[in-house]
Amino acid sequence: MTDTVLSDQSIPGQSQGLFRVRQITDNVEARPVPSIATEPKLNPPASRAYFFGLMAPAIALLACISLYPFCWLIYMSLHDVEIGSAVWNNFENFTKLASDSRYLNGWWLLIQYSVMCLALQIGIGVFLAVALNGARFEKILVTTLLMPMMMAPIVAGLVWYFLYNGTFGWYHWLLQSVGILGPKSILASTGTALIGIVIVDVWQWTPLITLITLAGLKRVPQDQLEANMVDGASQVRNFFAITLPNLYPVLVIAVMLRFMDNFRFIDSVLALTGGGPGNATKILPVYLFEVSFKFFKLGRGAAIALTLLVVTIILGMILVRVFDRQQTRKA
């Protein structure tokens, strides 16, 4: 392949439009010597015992604080547990769940609750992050925004309980005077109570999403945004084509954190409604709490907890898988 060849050998009839197409004439004599290297004998890999030795203390600690209780959980889920006694009951704890309408309803409510919380938090959180990114006083604004997150969930629940209150709640008064609400508190009617607890969760945890997204936004490659802009993209299109795909990994993490919290944290729900009115906000973890610690059906509670755990793990694994794929695509 030489320059003279390149510039002179345009092939007639093959030129495509504006571009010349040249033939690449490989210089055969110039090819390198064929490789004669044979497969090497590989050096032994680093010793595994050494690694296990290093990890042993951590593994031991983990075994004590989580493996042991976990085994107990499984044990209890298979027995009728009273304080001081446990009787094997042929998987009855599990089989009965299938016909327990409050258990099934708990799942259904949990799904609604989680999906609403996640959708709103991600939507509002990302919007806020984009609006705040690079804004004047960004640091101060973000700090202010983080306030709700620093509050203990139980306190948040109580604060909102009063804000929602039908007789003297400020928000209730506000919403009622604009005509959105009737005279009843949002938490008092079965139709709106779930919305009520979603709002509190969104209020408290949207800042977390904003914070994570802001960190993600700082890492969106500026040069790609610029290239896409010159290529002819509008701001909006640029956001969806470049910014958002670059945010996916952090959003996956955010979703993972938040859905796990929704599956675990019931402080604010207990403070706001305690699962009521009726069973309107009795999402599964609240029901689990009731079964175990109000009715003291520890075996049944363990079975519910186990199903919740399994679903959490499966969803978590799916999200980790998605995250991994995002990472490999990026790398």
Partner 1 sequence: MAKVSFRSVWKKYGELAAVKDLNIECADGTFLSILGPSGCGKSSTMRMIAGLEHISAGDILFDDQRINDMAPRDRDVAMVFENYALYPHKTVFENMANPLKLRGQSTDRIRERVNAAANLLEIGQLLRRRPQELSGGQKQRVAIGRAIVREPKLFLFDEPIAHLDAKLRAHMRGEIKHMQRTLGTTMIYVTHDQLEAMSMADLIAVMHDGELQQLGTPREVYNQPVNAWVAGFVGEPAMNFLTCEVQARRDDVLLTHSNFALPLLPQQVQRLNGHAAGPVRMGVRPDGLSITMRKPSEPVITGEIFVNELLGGDMIVDVQLADARIRVKTAPEFEGVPGEACYVTVNREKWHAFDVENGRAFF
Give 39 or 223: the residue with its C-beta nearer to partner 1: 223
User: In the chain, which ranges are E strands?
Assistant: 79-82, 85-88
331 counts as binding partner 1 under rule CB under 8 A: yes
CA distances from 38 to 30, 34, 41, 43, 305 (A): 23, 12, 9, 15, 58
In the complex, the smallest distance separating the C-beta of residue 327 from partner 1, rounded to whole angstroms, is 12
24 counts as binding partner 1 under rule CB under 8 A: yes
In the complex, the smallest distance separating the C-beta of residue 18 from partner 1, rounded to whole angstroms, is 5
Three-state secondary-structure class, residue 121: helix
Structure tokens of 175?
């919403």
In the complex, the smallest distance separating the C-beta of residue 8 from partner 1, rounded to whole angstroms, is 11
Structure tokens of 83?
């304080």
19 counts as binding partner 1 under rule CB under 8 A: yes
The correct pick among 26, 29, 39, 223 for binding partner 1 (CB under 8 A) is 223
The correct pick among 1, 65, 67, 155 for binding partner 1 (CB under 8 A) is 1
- The residue type of 202 is V
Give 177 or 222: the residue with its C-beta nearer to partner 1: 222
Number of residues that this document lists for the chain: 331
322 counts as binding partner 1 under rule CB under 8 A: no
C-alpha closest to that of 263 among 307, 322, 320: 307
Give the Cα separation of 10 and 310 in Å (integer): 66
Contacts with partner 1 by CB under 8 A: the residue count is 29
CA 43 remoteness from chain centre: 42
Alpha helix ranges (H) inside 84-192: 92-97, 101-132, 138-150, 153-164, 170-177
The correct pick among 229, 244, 257, 315 for binding partner 1 (CB under 8 A) is 229
In the complex, the smallest distance separating the C-beta of residue 252 from partner 1, rounded to whole angstroms, is 15
Which range of residues in 69-77, 145-153, 160-168, 234-242 is near partner 1 by CB under 8 A? 234-242
The correct pick among 96, 219, 237, 264 for binding partner 1 (CB under 8 A) is 237
The correct pick among 215, 227, 310, 320 for binding partner 1 (CB under 8 A) is 227
Residue 270's H or E segment, with its range, is: helix 267-272
Q: Which residues bind partner 1 (CB under 8 A)?
A: 1, 3, 6-7, 16-21, 24, 221, 223-224, 226-234, 237, 242, 245, 329-331
